[in-house]
Amino acid sequence: MNSFKGLNGLKRHVLVVDDDMINREILSNILRTEYEVHTAGDGKEALDLIKAGDCSFSLILADLLMPVMDGFELIKNLKEDDALRLIPVIVMTSESDAEVRSIKMGAADFITKPYDMPDVILARCERIIELQENKNIIHDTEKDMLTGLYSREYFIEYINQIEKYKADRKVDILNINIDHFHLLNELYGREEGNNALIRIGHILLDIFSEKPGICCRTEADNFIVYCDHEVDHKYVLEKLIDGLSDASVFHKIRLRMGVYTDADKSLMVENWLDRAKTACDMIRGDYSKDIEYYSNENYEQAKFREKLINDIDDAIKNKNLKVFYQPKYDITGEKPVLRSAEALVRWIHPELGMISPGDFIPLFESNGLIQKLDRFVWEEVAGQVGKWKREYNVSVPVSVNVSRMDIYFSGLKDNFVRLLEENGLEPKELMLEITESAYSENAEELISVVENLRSDGFMIEMDDFGTGYSSLNMITSIPIDALKLDMKFVRNMEKDEKSMKLVELVLEIAEFLQVPVIAEGVETDNQLRLLKERGCDIIQGYYFSKPVPPEEFTAFFDK
């Protein structure tokens, strides 16, 4: 409860209800050392004051015998009101039978007149308030026994109460989320997942026992903090990352934070939380950033993303997703020869027009929808390759992109095998592209999945090579059939010596591994020449063609 006191920096409010002005004064003076004291002359006046809601009372001390509305009637009224029934009432009396009656009606305790033991009175008040507040918390936070943080409902309620005291203070909302938390659960077990959550909870409690703020956990791996505007967000995130850095499992956790600063007090607390979450979602899967701030712009973008998420099922059903094919040419001989193609998806949205995969692939990778999309694409591609085979009597191996998420789907191989069978294809006709960064993230699991696929004859191309920070050691032990040199290096090799050196290095590594290199994003004669001179085998890029719809792709067969 310290954080609560600390946060508003104010005393709790108590209400003294007595028709006797002298008694009211004596009691108020005693309580004033610890509490913000309000007074009322009878039950009716008290009830009006409480219902006015200008402040929220932690305790009511009520005389029993009063004109207009007596103490019994006041207790009865409070207990019947859902919003008020949790405010504890201590009755003040000198008759013992009335004490019993009032306690039976729901009073929390009693104090006998005259008030000659101030310390005892204060201690009783404190105990009752604490009891009630703990009771509320236990009642409301049942759902989060794990971390000891507040549940969302209670958290919001708490903020609302605090805001009543100090609506003019600037506050921020921090939303902290674990990237791919479900993977942590799947790979290391629920217990490790829980451990991570507990750890985060403890660190947050630790930080905000010193700094003004309160914390809650929602939706398994989402943490929210309501804090003073002065709190340093980076410090909070760094503390969390620091605190998680020791265990190897935790080391794999990536945290991201969305911040809604200087919350608009005309909005509801729920809106504040949404905004912080929106900011946090903006950088889901974006490894270049770990803190994002809410702004109107990213709100618009969040809306756009939300639309894409909502529309993906329809897009699949109505075939608004279309697979384009980009040829890969073998340049080792005199004349370039069509060797294979890459399948690249496009979304022809009925309202938004053509959407490029850059807009939705990272989004779907971050929320798991990619699996649905990829399976649709693979199905289309297998069908198309089979069709070309039957209708044109040509075999054009096509590579499909396999997201890191797909890899952990246990039916992956069976699914590919089924596609081959249904369409009369050989494994080498459906190649798989896996991005290099997936290898460095989870080498062991990935290698075993890849080995399993290769044992059935599937060919694996390592995509975006040069961007994924694999170690040399790892590259030599990874089972692959081709390296795809990332476009970035091709684009820069003419003007920047470092890029050229990297291109050469990749070609040497490939030679050592005895696998071909596919250079992506080749647009010019000169790029093609430079790559060919250095022993690059295969070229993909606008130089030959942009990705085209399947009906246009057949033109490449004759050439």
Only one of the segments 108-116, 213-221, 394-402, 497-505 lies at the binding site for Ca ion (rule: CB under 5 A); that segment is 394-402
Q: 506 and 475 in contact (C-beta within 8 Å)? A: no
Q: Hunting for tokens 């009865």 — which residue is that?
A: 76
Contacts of 275 (CB under 8 A, 6+ apart): 173, 260, 294, 299
CA torsion 311-315-320-325 (nearest 10°) is 110
How far is 325 from 547, CA to CA, in rounded Å? 5
Cβ distance to Ca ion smaller for residue 27 or 373? 373
Q: Minimum CB separation from ligand C2E for residue 486, in Å?
A: 7
345 binds, among Ca ion, ligand C2E, none (CB under 5 to 8 A by kind): ligand C2E
Amino acid residing at 554:
T
222 binds, among ligand C2E, Ca ion, none (CB under 5 to 8 A by kind): none
For CA atoms 93, 96, 100, 101, the dihedral sign is: negative
Cβ distance to ligand C2E smaller for residue 274 or 436? 436
370 binds, among Ca ion, ligand C2E, none (CB under 5 to 8 A by kind): ligand C2E
How far is 330 from 343, CA to CA, in rounded Å? 17
For residue 339, which phi and psi values (nearest 5 degrees)?
-110, -45
Of 365, 386, 396, 373, whose CA–CA distance to 287 is shortest?
365
User: Interhelix angle for 370-392 vs 357-367, to 10°?
Assistant: 130
Q: 53 and 29 in contact (C-beta within 8 Å)? A: no
How far is 47 from 49, CA to CA, in rounded Å? 5
172 binds, among Ca ion, ligand C2E, none (CB under 5 to 8 A by kind): none
Only one of the segments 53-61, 90-98, 196-204, 369-377 lies at the binding site for ligand C2E (rule: CB under 6 A); that segment is 369-377
108 binds, among ligand C2E, Ca ion, none (CB under 5 to 8 A by kind): none
377 binds, among ligand C2E, Ca ion, none (CB under 5 to 8 A by kind): ligand C2E
Q: Minimum CB separation from ligand C2E for residue 468, in Å?
A: 12
Q: Does the protein bind ligand C2E through residue 547 (CB under 6 A)?
A: yes
Q: Does the protein bind Ca ion through residue 401 (CB under 5 A)?
A: yes
Cβ distance to ligand C2E smaller for residue 476 or 524? 524
Q: Minimum CB separation from ligand C2E for residue 492, in Å?
A: 13
For residue 495, which phi and psi values (nearest 5 degrees)?
-100, -10
Q: Does the protein bind Ca ion through residue 464 (CB under 5 A)?
A: yes
Contacts of 22 (CB under 8 A, 6+ apart): none
Q: Does the protein bind ligand C2E through residue 463 (CB under 6 A)?
A: yes
Q: Does the protein bind ligand C2E through residue 401 (CB under 6 A)?
A: yes
Only one of the segments 19-27, 135-143, 304-312, 357-365 lies at the binding site for ligand C2E (rule: CB under 6 A); that segment is 357-365
For residue 301, which phi and psi values (nearest 5 degrees)?
-65, -35
99 binds, among Ca ion, ligand C2E, none (CB under 5 to 8 A by kind): none
Cβ distance to ligand C2E smaller for residue 4 or 543? 543
344 binds, among Ca ion, ligand C2E, none (CB under 5 to 8 A by kind): ligand C2E
Contacts of 134 (CB under 8 A, 6+ apart): none
Q: 439 and 471 in contact (C-beta within 8 Å)? A: no
How far is 110 from 107, CA to CA, in rounded Å? 8
Q: Does the protein bind Ca ion through residue 463 (CB under 5 A)?
A: yes
Q: Minimum CB separation from ligand C2E for residue 433, in Å?
A: 6
> How many residues bind ligand C2E, per CB under 6 A?
23
Amino acid residing at 314:
D
Check residue 462 and report its DSSP letter. Answer: E
Of 43, 95, 92, whose CA–CA distance to 63 is shortest?
92
Cβ distance to Ca ion smaller for residue 177 or 435? 435
Only one of the segments 374-382, 396-404, 492-500, 501-509 lies at the binding site for Ca ion (rule: CB under 5 A); that segment is 396-404
How far is 410 from 110, CA to CA, in rounded Å? 65
How far is 546 from 325, CA to CA, in rounded Å? 8
Only one of the segments 144-152, 158-166, 502-510, 516-524 lies at the binding site for ligand C2E (rule: CB under 6 A); that segment is 516-524
Q: 515 and 484 in contact (C-beta within 8 Å)? A: no
How far is 210 from 204, CA to CA, in rounded Å? 10
Q: Does the protein bind ligand C2E through residue 356 (CB under 6 A)?
A: yes
Q: Does the protein bind ligand C2E through residue 520 (CB under 6 A)?
A: yes
How far is 435 from 406, CA to CA, in rounded Å? 12
Q: Does the protein bind ligand C2E through residue 353 (CB under 6 A)?
A: no
Site string for ligand C2E, 477-496 (x = CB under 6 A): ----------x---------
Contacts of 553 (CB under 8 A, 6+ apart): 325, 327, 341
Q: Minimum CB separation from Ca ion for residue 288, in Å?
A: 18
Contacts with Ca ion in 412-451 (CB under 5 A)? Answer: 433
Only one of the segments 1-9, 222-230, 266-274, 352-360 lies at the binding site for ligand C2E (rule: CB under 6 A); that segment is 352-360
Only one of the segments 144-152, 158-166, 458-466, 489-497 lies at the binding site for Ca ion (rule: CB under 5 A); that segment is 458-466
Q: Which residues bind Ca ion (CB under 5 A)?
A: 401, 433, 463-464
> Residue numbers of the site for ligand C2E (CB under 6 A)?
326, 344-345, 356-358, 361, 370, 374, 377, 401, 403, 463-464, 487, 520-523, 540-542, 547
